[in-house]
Amino acid sequence: MARTKKSKTKETPKTGRVYISAGFNNTIITITDAEGNALYSGSAGGAGFKGSRKATPYAATKAAEHLAKTAASAGMQDVSVFVKGPGLGRIASIKALKSSGLKVVSISDLTPIPHNGCRAKKKRRV
């Protein structure tokens, strides 16, 4: 008696979230479901860019296009975008998500902002 193993198919929901972490050196994009469980992830470095070219808006666009096409072909339609960080790939990756077949429902900025900041350096005495 040979038992056959059932293959698990990944059910992609129709709505999801896109988290974009845009740093000065790279742009990391993660597509999750509504609960926050990661489904797809990629980065400008994963799209084949090396060195300082990872920090460009073009690299972020290519990474976002690739991820959006995979998610759209799996059945995802509407996404909420959450952006974090000061990098150049912020706006470029959102535009790429829109043009690749996903409907962007909302855009939120989660960049951490210090309300008081670190303690200042002591004043220099000469």
27-80 pLDDT per residue, tens: 999 999 999 999 999 999 999 999 999 999 999 999 999 999 999 999 999 999
Answer whether residue 6 is part of any domain.
no
Of all residues in the chain, the percent with pLDDT exceeding 70 is: 96
Q: Which residues, in sequence order, are bridge partners of residue 60? A: none
Strands 15-22 and 27-32: antiparallel
Question: Using CA atoms in the order 78, 84, 88, 89, what is the torsion angle rounded to 10 degrees?
Answer: -30
pTM of the predicted model as reported, rounded to 2 decimal places: 0.84
Q: Enumerate the H helices of 28-126 as residue ranges.
A: 57-74, 89-99
Q: Which tokens sit at 100? A: 């690749």
Residue 105 lies in a domain: yes
What CATH number is given to the structural domain containing 65? 3.30.420.80
Mean pLDDT of 85-101: 93
User: Does residue 114 register a pLDDT over 90?
Assistant: no
Mean pLDDT of 121-125: 93
Number of domains the chain is built from: 1
